[in-house]
Amino acid sequence: MHTERLTELLQQLQKASESFLGYPVSKDFNYAELYDFLQYPINNLGDPFESSTYKVQTHDIEKEVVNFFAKLFRANPNDYWGYVTNGGSESNLYGLYIAREMYPKAMVYYSESTHYSVKKNIHLLNIPSIVIRSQENGEIDYTDLEETLKFNRHKPAIILTTYGTTMTEAKDDVSKVKKILKKLAIQDHYIHCDGALAGSFGAFVNPKIPFDFMDGADSISISGHKFIGSPIPAGVVITKRSLRDRVSKGISYIGSLDTTITGSRNGHSPLFLWYAIQKIGIQGLQERYEKSVAIAKYCKQELLKIGIKAWSNPGAITVVFPKMPDEIKNKWQLATEEDITHIICMPNVTKEQIDAFIADVTRIDHSRYLEEDIIYN
């Protein structure tokens, strides 16, 4: 009986994975070489940069993953730390946790386009917060941020920027945020950058949109299962080692430091990410991005040809357009918010898939999608 159930489930998953265009998940991976590791209870408890009495772990592999992204994000080679998390939400929670420990009386500022997990994380950490308006393209409104900060100059500021918002892949400019803080003389501040999707290719966006450590970020998070791809959701958070030391506690029975959000941590995810970056490398990561940008450009052009007012933010692999009928939305698994939807041209998305989507759209009455709209890029 269980064999039939598994066969049925596998067929469902295979069918569903053939036609999703609206979610940032890469599926062009092959981890067959790692299947033997599924026989072992790999548990990365404790700090990946510290030894532990539990040896069925992948801490050394995890450190290499952290090193890779720390270099990509231009972290200080003498002052960085990080770990592989369960996903972007945990990574954001860690950044906010470090910030709260630094500034217990701080106020958090985040835009209305920020990922929904941030509001939950702020609630869990019990930090007061203020929502900042977003611009029409989804980017944070810097004028509103500055005016709001003026009213709270007596409080430390924790600012959560987003490098690739959920619906429009808008990218907040960390250097502009940093200038506002300097202008207002708010010296006690912390900037966390949520780069869940776009952070993995941020170094290759041209022209560059500032988001990394040299631009002023204090911590950066990404999702490993998005642009890189993994069968298990995973994330990476990078911060400064000097900041991590503020929350570390020694745990004698594991012989390590407690520095992460969860105690027991999935030790397979670091292995998947390590394997991927070993095979892809920096150049391969850039090529994946350039391919995705080219497909996004093609997608936008094809939508415009049939009268659909499609647009995208600079350097984005996300194409935004008016919401589609349920038959289109459900078939292609399109994420929709209010009056817009999008296609995210992940590395596995092909021109053939875009053509099939366009063919479906042309078969419906789309006259109501022809209203004037803004073309951002």
According to the model, what pLDDT value does residue 363 have? Answer: 86
Sheet holding 340-344, edge to edge: 318-322, 340-344, 336-337
Pairing relationship of beta strands 107-111 and 340-344 according to DSSP bridges: unpaired
Mean pLDDT, rounded, for 91-104: 94
Name residue 140's amino acid. Answer: I
According to the model, what pLDDT value does residue 366 have? Answer: 52
Q: Would you say residue 254 has pLDDT above 60?
A: no
Indicate the pTM of the whole model. 0.92
C-alpha distances out from residue 124 to 103, 104, 142, 284, Å:
16, 14, 27, 38
Given CA atoms 296, 300, 301, 305 in this order, what sign does their dihedral have? positive
Instruction: Give the pair of three-digit tokens for residue 254.
Output: 């594991």
Given pLDDT bands bounded at 50, 70 and 90, which one contains residue 196? very high
> 272-317: per-residue pLDDT in tens?
999 999 999 999 999 999 999 999 999 999 999 999 999 999 999 9
Q: To which residue do tokens 């003389």 refer?
A: 185
Instruction: Give the pair of three-digit tokens for residue 170.
Output: 């808008």
Rounded Cα distance between 275 and 172, Å, is 31
Q: To which residue do tokens 């009268």 refer?
A: 307
DSSP category for residue 117 = H
What domains sit in the chain, N to C, each tagged with a CATH number? Answer: 12-29+282-365 (3.90.1150.10), 32-278 (3.40.640.10)
According to the model, what pLDDT value does residue 365 have? Answer: 58
